Structure 1
């Protein structure tokens, strides 16, 4: 198992960032490597299940994402989801209001590489680094989208 944490400051109100990112209709717009959902059951709240594909090195792997936590309080917000399939992981997003914007942190607990030919060829250290880079690109995408929408 590999656990890593990445954070970014977004110059947009927490509520806007939170509402945009928990909506499964938006996930493929910002989540690096995630395809448009094939099936969505729910609206991003606890119990939502999304079937989609995750792409790495041009190979598309079927995954299922289930939302396990989704709450907003005056102090901030938290969202968690479990991804099952070829890239099992748990992602928690922590939203904290800061300087009229939002500090968004991803905490990702990745369980490993696919148990197929791809997984046998590529080293776990490589996939861990790729997933960490993907998380940072995802945060950068969220920042660009939310700051762009906020400035309109």
Structure 2
């Protein structure tokens, strides 16, 4: 099982971060490869289902996901419902005290963590139409580093959107299973 964890500090109230992260349809604003998110069912709570349309290289794919658990304003869990065994969550940990590295405009904040686990070997190889003479293993080898790159991009852009300004965003990235 591959695992990727990206976390950083965000200097807005935790409930604002939670509401921002519940807007799954807005995620495409922060990514290069996620082109569209369509809500199929629900309001962002448990049982809400989404279709996520990805496009990269010569491939397009629509993933299906479902929110499996919520703990406002601290956590949103989700899972992919077809073609691959994958799940993850957003976790929001409020600061009891602002860190010394907090920007001067910060009144409060939280630690935000994005974690995803997936079993690349569980992927349904027939779910994606590959160009002729291109193997699924080759594509998988090309995708693994893109997963980390995209996760980092999403978190950086989300911080900018949440805080309403640019700043150097320090990320902590941990990866198991060959992503890095």
Question: TM-score under structure 1 normalisation?
Answer: 0.82
Q: 1:83 aligns with which of 80, 87, 93?
A: 80
Structure 2 CA distance for aligned equivalents of residues 91 and 104 of structure 1:
13
Contact 2:10/2:159 (CA < 8 Å) preserved in 1?
Answer: yes
1:49 aligns with 2:49: yes
In structure 1, stretches of 5+ residues that fail to align are: none
Identify the residue that residue 71 of structure 1 maps to in structure 2.
Answer: 71
Shift of 1:31: 4.6
Deviation at 1:5, TM superposition (A): 1.0
Once residues 39 and 147 of structure 1 are traced to their aligned partners in structure 2, the CA distance between those partners, rounded to angstroms, is 26
1:106 aligns with 2:122: no
Instruction: List alignment gaps of at least 5 residues for structure 2.
Output: 99-107, 166-180
* Alignment CA distance shift 1:83-1:21 (3 Å): same
1:142 to 158, 165, 175: 158
Specify whether residues 12 and 49 from structure 1 end up closer, same or farther in structure 2 by C-alpha distance, changes over 3 A only: same
| Equivalent residue number for residue 13 of structure 1 | 13
On the 8 A contact 1:33/1:54 being kept in 2, the answer is yes
Structure 1 counterpart SS, 2:72: strand
Structure (1/2) with the larger strand percentage = 1
| TM-score, L = length of structure 2 | 0.70
Bigger radius of gyration, 1 or 2? 2
Which is worse superposed, 106-115 or 117-126?
Answer: 117-126
Instruction: State the shift of 1:127 in Å.
Output: 2.1
Q: CA deviation at 1:97?
A: 1.1
**RMSD, matched Cα:** 2.3
Select the structure with the greater relative contact order (CA < 8 A; seq sep ≥ 6): 2
